[in-house]
Structure formats: C-alpha cells, structure tokens
Amino acid sequence: MKTRKDNREIFESWPIPKALAEFAVPMIFGQLIILIYNLADTFFIGRTNNPLMVAGVSLLLPVFNISISVANLFGIGGGTLISRLLGAGKDNEAESVSAFSFYMTIITAGMFSLIMFVFMDSILRMLGASDDTLIFAKHYTFCVIVLGAVPTILSMTMGNLLRSTGYAKEAGFGISMGGMINIALDPLFMFVLLPGGYEVLGAGIATMLSNLIICSYFMFIILVRLKDNSSLSLSVKKVITSRENAYSVFYVGVPAAIAVFLFDVTYIIIDKLTSYYGDIPLAAVGIVLKAERLPLNVGIGICQGMMPIAAYNYSSGNFSRMREVVRFSRLMGLLFGFVSVLMYELFASSIMRIFIADIQTVELGTHFLRARALATPFMFLCFHPVNFFQAVGHGGKAMLLGVSRWAVFNIPLLFVMNYIFGMYGIVWTQVVADIMMVIVSMIVYERFAAGINS
C-alpha cells in the first residue's frame, strides 16, 4: 500500500509518461470494463433477437447519464479540489472536502431516485417509449435507477475521490470488479432465474447488484485499508467544510454536471428524433450509441489520469509540468482516436451483428456507426480541455466549453440536419458540431496557457 509520501512523488517527480500511466492505465481499464458491462446488457438482450427489448433498454441511456452528472457534481468538483489542496499542502482540508462530497452525493442521489420512481411513466414516454417498449424500459429503470441510483452514483463519486489522492489502481480495480460481476450475473438472472419475457428485468437486477458491490468495496477501501494512508475521510464530523471550499466544489462540479446533463439532453433528442422513424431505427441508434463508446471511454480514462497531476502541479506552481502532462495526454488520446476511426470503418457491420441478428437493424446501424465514428478524434479534442479546466479549478471556462459544445453547436444542428437530411442527418451531426467546437476549445486553452507563461 502506497503512503502519502509515495503519492506525492508521483505528482511531483515521476516522468510524465510514467506518472500518466500510473493514473490513466487503471482508469482506462476500468472505463473499458464499464463499457463491456454496459454493452453486456445490450449484447445479452440482443440474444433474444427482440428489437423492442433493445429499444426499451436504449431509452434509459440518457437517464443513466443523468446519474453520471450527479456523480460529477461531487466526484469531479470535490476530487479536483482535493488534488489542488494536496498540492498546496492542506491535507486536513482535503479530508473535510471528501466527507462533504460523500454525504452530499447520498442526499442528491436519493432525491434523483425518488423523482424517477414518482414520474417514471411520464419520463419514459417523454424519452420516446412506445406502447410496445414501455414495459421493458420500466423494468430496467426500476432496478438500475430507482433501486440502484444511490450505490451507483456513490461508487462513481468515491472512485473519483480515490483517484484524486493518487489511488487510481484501487479506483480502477473497484470499477473493473463490479463490471466483471455484472457480466457474470447478466445471463444468470436473464436466462436461468427469471422466466422468458423478463430478460430486461434480469439485466436490471444484475446491474443493480454489481453497483451495490462496487459501492461496498470502495467504502471498505476508504474506511479500512486507507484509514491512515490517505487524505480521504467519510466521517460525519468532518462534513462541515469552509464556505470557500464548498463554493470551489460547486464552481467546478456544477459545470461538470451541466456538461454531462447537456450530453444527456443530446442523447434524449437523438432518441426522440429517431423514434419518429420507427422502433427499428431507434434500436439501431441505441446499439450504435453504445458501440461507439470504446474510444470515448479510453479518452475519458486518459483525461482522468491527466486531471490529478494537472491539478496538483497547478496548485503547487509547477506550470511546466502541468503543460507537459496536458500535451502528452492529448497526444495519446488523438492516436487512439484515429486508430479507432479505422477500426469502426472496417468492422462496423461485424460490430452490429455482435449485438443483434435482425438484418434491417444491422444494416441501418452499420451506416450510423460509420458516420458517427468519424467524430472520434474531434470528440476527444472537445472534452480534453474541459477536463483540464475542471482540474485547475477554472469552472467558468469549463462551463463555457461544455455548454457551447452541446447547447450552441450539437443540439441546434440536430434539428437543422434532421430537417434537411432526415434520419441520416441525425447521425452526421456529431462530426459537424465537434469540428466547429475544436476550434473554439483550442482558442480558449491557448489563451489560458499564454496567460500562465506571461
């Protein structure tokens, strides 16, 4: 088990490629496992060869993304502040911020769960559920969100808090363990324990249980294994933090949550617009929006590795090291993005057939996936600067870029391109919007970097 001194050496003196790998590799692995177990639900449900079940589960993706926005509020907001406090040598304040983030997550996630329980039918109808897909969407929502929101969101928050103090391996292992358990439980509940017709309910139960296990593991790590070796605390006595620190959590956390929320709204609009063309296109888009996430999740893992190092060195005044980790992480993300574009263009049809055998769904999904895959490198160049500004505590700039990407470019273009080009315009929007946004992102970052240099 690493000590606090060991972790400070990673932040301060390790070569950047080695330090980034120490943080990013466990998070990339964890993100890939998240991707696998998210795809596992679609894969196993697709084995029923029932597009209505696939469409019903696909409708929940935007709702699940809202839970990520709640986790970002305190996981990103609190986690990046903790890294900056450690860089400034304020370990006791870091403990207080971790306790504040933990209990605020429980309260917020509980409210989210209650809202979904009370307004489930209305929300699912708003997302595009038809009479044929509503029952499947309700089964999955009740398990994953109504019963599972608190452990799911709390796990994401604790994973971010662990990573912020240098325990990326522990965070990555917890995420990976939960994902593997989910993959194992899916076929058990779907095809063994529950009768035919309840496969979606079985997938929901498996996901809920796996997230509960992850949550328990993270609490054990923080409360028992790292009790004397980290700057994290879950003590109720330390919940009260300074007004300045609470403001800093929300100043970064709110933009992070809003960015994910707008991403979520975009997916809702995609589902809603696609649903007008029928359940088959909706099922195809649902699979594509999950299948395209490989480079996105790897890119998120790279950014998660970059953020604590950038935050720590920004706070400690080592700006050259901060800029170096930004440049190197950007390069790694772009390389993987371009390789991913090639793979999707070559194997889009094969990827679709992994999830469903329905010929029409596969044909549509192949065209959709090839179009959206072209946006991959540009997507990374859009969210990488946002993560950087979150790390260094510039929530205003993170808000500007996050809101602009979705509210200024992506969402309006969805309606315009759907009106002009129809169904295929929906899937081409991501490429057009992100090319525009990359230009804005680079201008904002370069001006900030130039200001530090001066």
CA dist 227 and 3 (Å) reads 11
Mean pLDDT score of the chain: 85
CA dist 281 and 283 (Å) reads 5
Tokens, residue 180: 């593997």
Q: Could you give the C-alpha distances from 231 to 83, 226, 283, 391, 392, in angstroms and in order?
A: 10, 9, 45, 18, 19
pLDDT at residue 118, as a whole number:
92
- 115 compared with 39, residue with greater pLDDT: 115
Spell out the residues 6+ positions from residue 132 whose beta carbon is closer than 8 angstroms to its own: 52, 279
Cα separation of the two ends of the chain: 41
pLDDT at residue 5, as a whole number:
53
Residue 134 reports pLDDT greater than 70: yes
The pLDDT tens digits of the residues spanning 174-185 come to: 888 887 888 889
Q: Could you give the C-alpha distances from 42 to 86, 142, 241, 294, 333, in angstroms and in order?
A: 41, 17, 42, 15, 26
Average pLDDT over residues 73-81: 87
Q: What percentage of the chain exceeds 90 in pLDDT?
A: 27
pLDDT at residue 276, as a whole number:
84
Alpha helices, H only, 292-405: 293-316, 319-355, 359-373, 376-391, 395-403
Q: Contact, 61 vs 213, CB < 8 A?
A: no
pLDDT band at 138 (very low <50, low <70, confident <90, very high): confident
Cα-based torsion angle of the residue sequence 362, 364, 366, 371 in order, rounded to the nearest 10 degrees: -160
Of 428, 297, 278, 311, residue with least CA distance to 367: 428
Residue 3 reports pLDDT greater than 60: no
CA dist 401 and 378 (Å) reads 14
Q: Contact, 61 vs 286, CB < 8 A?
A: yes
Task: Name the amino acid, one letter, at 380.
Answer: F
Residue 127 reports pLDDT greater than 80: no
pLDDT at residue 44, as a whole number:
79
pLDDT at residue 293, as a whole number:
81
- 26 compared with 426, residue with greater pLDDT: 426
What are the residue boundaries of the structural domains of the chain, listed by start? Answer: 14-453
CA dist 443 and 92 (Å) reads 37
Of 28, 30, 26, 67, residue with least CA distance to 257: 67
The pLDDT tens digits of the residues spanning 423-433 come to: 899 989 999 99
Average pLDDT over residues 394-398: 89
Cα-based torsion angle of the residue sequence 274, 280, 282, 285 in order, rounded to the nearest 10 degrees: -100
Angle between helices 61-87 and 376-391 (to 10 degrees): 40
pLDDT at residue 374, as a whole number:
92
Spell out the residues 6+ positions from residue 180 whose beta carbon is closer than 8 angstroms to its own: 33, 37
Element housing 278 (H / E): none
CA dist 184 and 190 (Å) reads 11
Residue 326 reports pLDDT greater than 90: yes
Q: Could you give the C-alpha distances from 111 to 114, 123, 210, 216, in angstroms and in order?
A: 5, 15, 21, 21
Residue 385 reports pLDDT greater than 90: yes
Residue 2 reports pLDDT greater than 60: no
The pTM (predicted TM-score) of the whole model is 0.79
Residue 21 reports pLDDT greater than 70: yes
Q: From the CB of residue 357, how many other CB atoms can be counted at a distance below 10 Å?
A: 12
Q: Which of 99-108, 196-205, 440-449 has the lowest mean pLDDT?
A: 196-205
Residue 394 per-residue DSSP state: -
Average pLDDT over residues 66-88: 84
Residue 356 reports pLDDT greater than 80: no
pLDDT band at 323 (very low <50, low <70, confident <90, very high): very high
Residue 251 reports pLDDT greater than 80: yes
Highest mean pLDDT among 19-33, 140-154, 220-234: 140-154
Residue 186 reports pLDDT greater than 60: yes
Residue 453 reports pLDDT greater than 70: no
Q: Which of 66-75, 115-124, 298-307 has the lowest mean pLDDT?
A: 66-75
- Tell me phi and psi for residue 185, to 5 degrees: -80, -25
pLDDT band at 107 (very low <50, low <70, confident <90, very high): very high
Burial class (CB in 10 A: 0-12, 13-18, 19+), 82: buried
The pLDDT tens digits of the residues spanning 79-95 come to: 888 888 888 888 888 88
Of 438, 294, 427, 293, residue with least CA distance to 372: 427
Q: Which of 36-40, 298-302, 365-369, 405-409 has the lowest mean pLDDT?
A: 36-40
- Per 3-state DSSP, what percentage of the chain is helix, strand, and coil (rounded to 5)? 85, 0, 15
Q: What percentage of the chain exceeds 70 in pLDDT?
A: 96
Average pLDDT over residues 229-243: 78
Q: From the CB of residue 180, how many other CB atoms can be counted at a distance below 10 Å?
A: 15
